[in-house]
A and B are shown apart, each in its own frame.
Chain A
Amino acid sequence: MLERVLNQVRDMSRRAVVSPVTFSLLFAFALAAAIVAVTGGDPLAAGGEMFTGAVTGSGLRNTLGRSVPIIGMALAVSIAFRSGIINLGGEGQMVIGGLAGTIVAIYVPGPGYVIVPLAMLAGAVVGAVWGLLPAYGQTWLRLPILITSLLLNYVARAITGYLVRFQLLDDAVTLTSTRQVPETARMPKMPIFGGVSLSLILVIVLVALLWMVYTRSVAGYESQMTGFNMRSARYGGIDVEQRTVQVMVVAGAIGGLIGTHLIIGEALRFIDGELVLAGFAWTGLLVSLLAVNRPIPIFITGMFFSALQIGGLAMQRNAGVSWRLSQVLQAVVIVAVACRLAIRRGERPSTEVSDAESAAVGEV
């Protein structure tokens, strides 16, 4: 018994040390430092600015604020990935849901405690419908979700572009934009860290909920098993098509929630094309991949990426190093993790050596 516990502890610490994430982070930061040094900067100063810029004062608020869409979109894509569905439509689901929520927030009168939830609900419903389209495309017409969900991003942008330009345009400003969300319909800020959006709580609740779903619910079990091995899931009596539809609805709904939050909690106007510029859906996708689609690692990784981005901006302001260096960092972490995963496959212990493994070991 004691031996087993000791073995487990040893195994865990061994895994943490050789974890691809630890290695990749060290490698990425070393490379970034080298780039700063080679281009004539001071890596320590730049790193210091990045750190303090991300976790102190208004930087902390901004880090927490930016983590909401990153973590949210990562959660949305993770549930699809976990069921083996390649949903690349997060952006479209976010944009079209976001506009729906904005319309409710602007045009429906009422007190904030009614309108804000109503706007979020509208965003979630329309996002879910946008997720439903590729799901039915796959289950009814055998059109791969990978392709339809990606293409529907452009359709969503075109539809919202048309609506903003010709139906909802605010003539009072020079922007191609809707009116501003009235004060009463905005997502409240919490009186912590200098005013962080209430949506952060929503994201934390989502993380906890998804963790619960995947560790102890039938739905989570069926989704995960389908993602692992669809043939075996089907054989076990799981209705794979029904699960696909459900997963896409939930993923689209989360996307719509985040889109709505980005307008009624941050931008306050739906400016045509603005929502996709920050690339939250794609950052979220990378976060999800890095965190192997698990909710709690997604929360940590999402916070980290958010801090990198906010810290990068501070670094540019105060140390004169371009904020794009933080994008380089982000990219290097991902590439390094991918490489380490590939190498580790060859050395994973297994009593029965699989084809893939022995093939990876060398020509035989």
Chain B
Amino acid sequence: MTFELELRGITKRYPGVLANDAVDLAVRPAEIHAIVGENGAGKTTLMSLLYGLFPPDEGEIFMRGERVEFSSALDAIAAGLGMVHQSFKLFPTLSVAENVVFRQEPRRRGLIDRAAGIARVSELADRYGLAVDPEAAVEDLPVGVLQRVEILKALYRDAQVLILDEPTAVLTPQERDQLFEVIRRLRDAGRTIIFITHKLGEVMAISDRVTVLRNGRAVADLVTAETDPAEITLHMTGRAVDLDRRAPEHQPGQAVLEVENLTVLGGHGRAVVKDASFQVRSGEIVGIAGVAGNGQSELIEALCGLAEAHNGAVTLSGTDITTADVAGRRAAGLAYIPEDRYGVGTTRQASVSENLLMGHHREETVQRRGWFDRGAVARLTGRLVEVFDIKAGSVSGPVSTLSGGNLQKVVVAREMEHGTPLLIAEQPTRGLDIGAIEFVHSQLIRYRDQGGAVLMVSAELSEILSLSTRILVMFEGSIVATLDPRAVDEPEIGLYMTGAHLEAAVA
């Protein structure tokens, strides 16, 4: 049979890394083909090669039996490929229709025909159930709708093969279900979908076939209906993974962090953290649950010295750190895994080793009177790379070549190495694959078992439930509930997260 799209023996090397190793991929017409693999398995590289962003070192690409070579994304688009990236590429101030027709605007007498553009976008949107208002400004739209605009862009350019790169990472469950509906409609209309993900539930829910990548190789090509998550996991990781590990019973000790009546002001003098009081004791993990944007980030920033406390007191191991700077707080015994591992946790232009050194660079063991002991630095970074199994071509190579999971390992390794009484972990597993999530979780548990106090913020309720000793729920800047993870379930936490308990109390 003729495949809609076929990749044969695709190989791509980077210095020290074999990103794709003789990958074969065969996609049939009008199927939903999932590509799964851990971060760093080579999914993004493979799609970038397919989309003409850079050329493969070896291998061939065929579309409907004909060999093609793309020297740019424009070639790929012309051949009928469409890609929806993880981060959207839209003009915020333009309307939906203007974004969709950009560079292929319908014209009338040499001028852009806005009405025709709007009409064609509405028609496309209706046909595939992509509910959008063509005349709305993009900057006013929620993420889920932006994704529909990106899909419309590809459809408007008549993409027969649509590549979706981790499309659900930014969506709410409802938006995800709507997206799946759209994807099924597109398939039923004869389009071919390539769906890149590392979430097994989505693979099972939506795909017809699945190709598994591991360490740059395609290790399995399966029919979804004939497989199960356990088999796919085995191919992805090469070993069985225990996903639902409950925190063992553990007796917490002394209070390490004490927060009293902490208030933080945001823009326009509005309180973004209101009168928050809580403790974190040694040997426990306190999980903060909440819908993003309810003051969790600001609370953590205020605890770490990156934002100012307007009111209240913060005590760390008996030291008042309410007004201390970052260095002072770190010295008082705090380490911090930040939410934004790209912009805050690491420095893209610096090497792996320089990133591992950050925060340790003033310690007596690596420097004397302001001059580094380079042997000691190499020993420190080498040990961290080894112990935390960070996969990097070279420690002196740029950190930007690391996969998301390995980058997070750099941050986790560095912060855990401080061995401080308190560890703050903010969204520690966001965007990571199963293997890396399991690794981070086991590290957090190890930290706790060694008597550390852990304050964790997470948007993943399952993570909060499986790791926490206690759960705090934040809603509109206040801590609205302290819950025992053994006594609650996800829907109940959800009630507090959305403020529904308040309404219930009023009623």
Binding site for B on A (CB under 8 A): 4, 7, 11, 216-219, 221-222, 224-225, 228-229, 231-239, 347, 349-355, 357-359, 361-364
Contact = CB atoms under 8 A, between A and B. Distances in A.
B48 A218 contact: no
Contacts of B19: 351
Nearest to B89: A364
A288 B102 CA distance: 40
A265 to B, nearest CB: 31
Nearest to A363: B103
A351 B44 contact: yes
B348 interface: yes
A238 B89 CA distance: 34
A222 B326 contact: no
B400 A228 contact: no
State which size class the interface on B falls in: 35 or more
A225 B350 contact: yes
Contact of A237 (B14, B83, B326, B348): B326
B500 interface: no
Nearest to A235: B344
Contact of A222 (B48, B304, B306, B361): B361
Nearest to B326: A237
A362 B72 CA distance: 7
The 6 A-B pairs of least Cβ separation, nearest first, read A237-B327, A236-B358, A229-B347, A236-B359, A228-B349, A228-B347
Interface in B343-385: 343-350, 354, 357-359, 361-362, 367, 370-372, 374
Nearest to A230: B347
A218 B373 CA distance: 10
B124 interface: no
A232 B347 contact: yes
A297 to B, nearest CB: 17
Nearest to A347: B54
23 contacts: A217-B371, A221-B357, A225-B347, A229-B346, A231-B344, A232-B344, A233-B347, A235-B344, A236-B326, A239-B327, A347-B54, A349-B54, A350-B14, A350-B400, A350-B401, A351-B44, A353-B48, A353-B53, A358-B73, A361-B72, A362-B72, A363-B74, A364-B83
B358 A219 contact: no
Contacts of A361: 53, 72-73
Nearest to B398: A350
B295 interface: no
Contacts of B306: 234-235
A237 B325 CA distance: 8
B85 interface: yes
B117 interface: no
Contacts of B475: none
B287 interface: no
Nearest to B154: A364
Nearest to B44: A352
Contacts of B447: none
A237 B347 CA distance: 14
A217 B366 CA distance: 11
Given A218-B370, A231-B344, A234-B326, A358 B103 contact: no
Nearest to A355: B87
A228 B53 CA distance: 26
Contacts of B103: 363
B501 interface: no
Contacts of A228: 347-350
Nearest to B407: A352
B404 interface: yes
Nearest to B87: A355
Given A217-B370, A351-B403, A359-B89, A229 B354 contact: no
A164 B344 CA distance: 50
Contacts of A231: 343-344
A109 B327 CA distance: 48
A107 B17 CA distance: 66
